[in-house]
Amino acid sequence: MLDEVDVHILDLLQTETRLSNLELSQRVNLSAPATHARVKRLEQEGYIDSYTAILNQEKLGYDLLCTVFMSTSIHQTQELNELEHRLSEMPEVMECYCMTGSFDYMLKTIHRSRKELEAFIRELNQLGVSQLQTSIVLREVKASTVLPLRK
């Protein structure tokens, strides 16, 4: 179970990840070793999935962010797993969700150019897709990975 200090640590980790263990310990009013042990415990118990560097999409030439809604004609579990596996392996697919609503899946995909997007959509179509609806992101208003722990 998590106490108040654990939540405080998690919240600091997801917003100010670069804090040293010493600074972190000062923020939560604990000694450095005690703080360190807690962080390790939180990692161990699966409260922290991963640490990651968020790269700048624009600077790296990825200017085309899309949402793709798709449905499939597949209904057998085995084949569905296969489909999902293939989707997961595609590097352009950043997120893939199974959804309520009129489509089976929603994808968030990223591309360098219209040409690459077109190639990607063609690739998708060869996967047993019955319907596809692609929209393009005009502007990113907010893109965060932070959970509202402190709300």
Partner DNA sequence: GTGGAAAACGAATATTATTCGGGAGGGAAA
Partner DNA sequence: TTTCCCTCCCGAATAATATTCGTTTTCCAC
Chain residues that interact with DNA, rule: CB under 7 A: 5, 20-22, 29-34, 36-38
Residue 147: contacted member of a second copy, DNA, none (CB under 5 to 8 Å, by partner type): a second copy
Residues that bind a second copy (CB under 8 A): 10, 13-15, 17-18, 45-57, 59-60, 62, 65, 67, 84, 87-88, 91-101, 105-106, 110, 135-151
As a whole number of angstroms, the distance between CA 46 and CA 7 comes to 14
Q: Which of a second copy, DNA, none does residue 119 bind to, with CB < 5 to 8 Å depending on kind?
A: none
Indicate left, alpha or beta for 128 from its phi (over 0: left) and psi (-120 to 50: alpha). Answer: left
Smallest distance from the beta carbon of 125 to a second copy, in angstroms? Answer: 18
Residue whose CB is less far from DNA, 34 or 119: 34
Contacts with 5 (C-beta within 8 Å, 6 or more apart), sequence order:
28, 30, 38
Q: Going by C-beta distance under 8 Å and a sequence separation of 6 or more, which residues neighbour residue 60?
A: none
Residue 36: which of a second copy, DNA, none does it interact with, CB under 5 to 8 A by kind?
Answer: DNA
- DSSP code for 26: H
For residue 113, the partner it binds in DNA, a second copy, none, with Cβ less than 5 to 8 A by kind, is none
Distance in angstroms (rounded) separating the CA atoms of residues 40 and 31: 14
Q: Which does 31 bind (CB under 5 to 8 A by kind): a second copy, DNA, none?
A: DNA
Residue type, 114: R
29 vs 135, beta carbon nearer DNA: 29
Nearer to a second copy, 15 or 29 (CB): 15
Q: Which of 70, 64, 51 has its CA nearest to residue 145? A: 51
CA angle 82, 50, 10 (to 5 degrees): 135
